Amino acid sequence: MAQTGLTKDQSNRARRYFISMMIRTACFILTVLLPNPYRWIALFGAVVLPYVAVVVANAGRETISAAPVAFNSRAIASDKDQSRGRA
């Protein structure tokens, strides 16, 4: 599947961030309007949402080209021994 163009990708990310900030604004308004137990839930949403919005807005264009390589200390040690003339 081909990637979307950079301009369209940036536009989509800006839109997602804008929507998240509008939800955050609604949470702040609800913090003032709601009774006590629900007020704290809305305040929590207003405080946590900026972090989530930034992470979601910045995700998307990364591509992973190869699988991670496992570290094998024995193979490295044997390579060092062979290069020094030891078998």
Q: What is the mean pLDDT of residues 23-36?
A: 94
Q: Which runs of E-coded beta strand occur in the chain?
A: none
Which residue matches tokens 């979601």? 56
Whole-number average pLDDT of the chain: 79
Residue 72 lies in a domain: no
In angstroms, the CA 46 to CA 30 distance is: 10
Structural domain tally of the chain? Answer: 1
Residue 84, by phi and psi: left (phi above 0), alpha (psi -120 to 50) or beta? Answer: alpha
Q: Could you give the angle at the alpha carbon of 60 between the alpha carbons of 43 and 52, nearest 5°?
A: 10
Q: Which residue range is the domain that position 13 belongs to? A: 1-63
Task: Judge whether residue 3 has pLDDT over 60.
Answer: yes
Check pLDDT > 60 for residue 87.
no
Percent of the chain at pLDDT exceeding 70 = 63
Cα–Cα distance, 54 to 23 (Å, whole number): 14
The answer to whether residue 32 is domain-embedded is yes
